[in-house]
Amino acid sequence: MGLLKTNMLIFTLRRFSLFFFTMWLLTILSFSLSFLFPGEQLINLTGEINASPEQLAVLANEYQQQANLLTQYFSYVSHLFHGDMGYSMTSHLPIMTEIINRLPATVELTCVALLVAMFFGIPIGFCAAIYHRKAPDNFILAIAMIGYSIPVFWLGILAILVFSVQLGWLPSAGQISLLFEIKHVTGLQLVDILLSDSEYKWQAFQDATRHLILPVIVVALAPATIFMRLARTAMLEVLDTHYIKAAKAKGLTFSQIIYRHAMRNAVIKVIRDVGLQFAHLITIAMVTEVIFSWPGIGRWLIESIYQRDYTAIQGGLIVLSTFIFIVHIIIDFVYAALNPLAREPNHGT
């Protein structure tokens, strides 16, 4: 047991050192962007497009512009640590405020979509593996092929046409009907509704759930098909191992083998690759946010490029990437918790 604990500790430390290293690279990247973007570097960094020369001089001092690059970088990072990412060039609000307003909507959409994709994709993939090279397998593979070939913006439009306009089942835009006034507490709409004391609480909750369904399905479809394929491959590999053959030899029934022995090991193999898919899922979510007018950070970033709001793009890059890393780390921990082998130092990278 003691060994296990040290292993877990070492694993945790390794993860965190990797996280800090990655964050360091990310801040360097974001800092260098302020030089690469058109316009003046100081203005790109602070977003103060209407500042007078005197105000700019104060800012230059604050960001240690007269010193060497390294000092400038450190002063930038210290601003970041204080939650100061400058001001948006268009709305003139602090980037931090804008992000706090929008990030939770994206977190809500992407996390629900990730769970839905796993919840449906993995069992279907197992199903395909069990019927390997039979009709259900081929059918599932064909669906999977279409699922990850379909352009997401087209899928979103078709979903709105069918489910919102023609059938009238689900709303087409936004996070909740604007009639409900929900106070912004955590930003996660469903949580905020439960925290609010509105007399229409239950209606609001239902309304928000209905708004969530279509975008979640659109975001989840492509990752779900990828999980299907991953789960199928993993299950096939597991079924090919010696211990399964031994179990068969012992006379266990097929369903006993699947449920008791194969499933857990196959799930572990899939979980390892979930993290890699998350960045892809975010890209899909950014486009989906545009189609469904979802008030998240992806849509905000795409609008920022239309308005050449460079400060917003820098801030969005840092926050969105950090979010992805955090999800990576969480998934790594889940993987390590399920799979003791992963906690051993030589496997821990």
Partner 1 sequence: MARDKIYLEEEFPTPLMQLWHNFKQPPVVMIGFGCFLFLIALALLASVITPYSSVENHLDHLLLPPAWSDEGNVSFLLGTDNLGRDMLSRLMHGTSLTFGLSIIVVMASLVIGVIIGSLSALTSGIKSSILNHFLDVILSIPSLLLAIIIVAILGPGLENTLWAIIMVLIPQFVHITRNAVKEEFAKDYVLASRLDGASSIRILWYSIFPNIIEKLISQATLAQSTAILEIAALGFLGLGAPIPMPEWGAMLANGIDLFYIAPWTVYLPGLAILFSVIATNLVGEGMRHALKVRKEN
Partner 2 sequence: MFTMTYCKFTYYNCLALFIIVLTGCDSSETLSLSKKSIIYCSEGAPESFNPQTVTSGTTIDATANQLYNRLIEFNPTDNSVVPAIAKSWHVTRDGKMVTFYLRKDIEFHQTAYFTPTRNLNADDVLFSFNRMLDENHLYYPVSGGKYPFFQNAQLVDLIDNIEKINEYTIRFQLSHSDSSFLANIGGNSAVILSKEYADELVELNTMQEIDILPIGTGPFKFKQYSSGAFIRYEPHANYWRGKSDLKQLVFDITPRDTGRLTKLLAGECDIIAYPIAHEKIKQHPNLTLESVTSFNVGYFGFNTSKPPFNDPLVRKAISYAINKQAILETVYTGQAEIADGLIPNSSWAYDSTITSQEYSITKAQALLAEAGYSNGFSMNLWAMPVQRAYNPDAVTMAKLIQADLQKIGVDVEIVFDYEWSTFLRKISEGEHQSVLLGWSADHPDPDNFFSTLLSCASAVTGSNRTFWCNEEFDQLIQSALQTNNINSRKAYYSKALKLINEEVPLIPIAHSKRYQARANNINGTLLRSIGGIDFNGVTKN
> Residues interacting with partner 2, by CB under 8 A?
90-91, 93, 119, 123, 160, 164-165, 168, 171-174, 177-181, 200, 203, 206-207, 209-210, 213, 259-261, 263-264, 293, 295, 303, 306-307
Three-state DSSP class for residue 168: coil
Task: Give 87's strand partners.
Answer: 94
User: CA 239, CA 233: separation in Å to the nearest integer?
Assistant: 10
Closest CB to partner 1 among 211 and 328? 328
268 binding partner (options partner 2, partner 1, none; Cβ < 5 to 8 Å by kind): none
- Determine contact, residues 153/284, Cβ cutoff 8 Å: no
Share of the chain residues as helix, strand and coil, in percent rounded to the nearest 5: 75, 0, 20
- 286 is a site residue for partner 1 (CB under 8 A): yes
Longest Cα pair distance anywhere in the chain, in angstroms? 84
Q: Segment contacting partner 1 (CB under 8 A): 48-56, 70-78, 201-209, 297-305?
A: 297-305
User: Shortest approach of partner 1 to residue 330 CB, angstroms?
Assistant: 14
User: CA 349, CA 344: separation in Å to the nearest integer?
Assistant: 10
Please report the sign of the dihedral spanned by the C-alpha atoms of residue 336, residue 338, residue 344, residue 346.
negative
User: CA 56, CA 48: separation in Å to the nearest integer?
Assistant: 8
Closest CB to partner 1 among 121 and 192? 121
- Determine contact, residues 112/193, Cβ cutoff 8 Å: no
Closest CB to partner 1 among 111 and 317? 317
Q: Where do the H-state alpha helices sit in the chain? A: 2-36, 41-46, 53-62, 69-81, 95-130, 135-149, 152-159, 189-195, 201-239, 242-250, 254-256, 263-291, 297-306, 310-338, 340-343
316 binding partner (options partner 2, partner 1, none; Cβ < 5 to 8 Å by kind): partner 1
Closest CB to partner 1 among 21 and 169? 21
Main-chain phi, psi angles of 94, to 5 degrees: -60, 140
- Cα-based distances in Å from 21 to 32, 322, 347: 17, 12, 19
* Sole binder of partner 1 in the list 83, 151, 340, 345 (CB under 8 A): 151
Q: What is the pattern of x (binds partner 1, CB under 8 A) and - over residues 96-135? A: ----------------------------------------
Closest CB to partner 2 among 17 and 50? 50
User: Shortest approach of partner 1 to residue 72 CB, angstroms?
Assistant: 19
Closest CB to partner 1 among 204 and 275? 275
Interface positions with partner 1 (CB under 8 A): 18, 21-22, 25-26, 29, 33, 36-38, 145-146, 148-154, 157-158, 161, 276, 279-280, 282-283, 286-287, 290, 298, 301-302, 305-306, 308, 310, 313, 316-317, 320-321, 324-325, 328
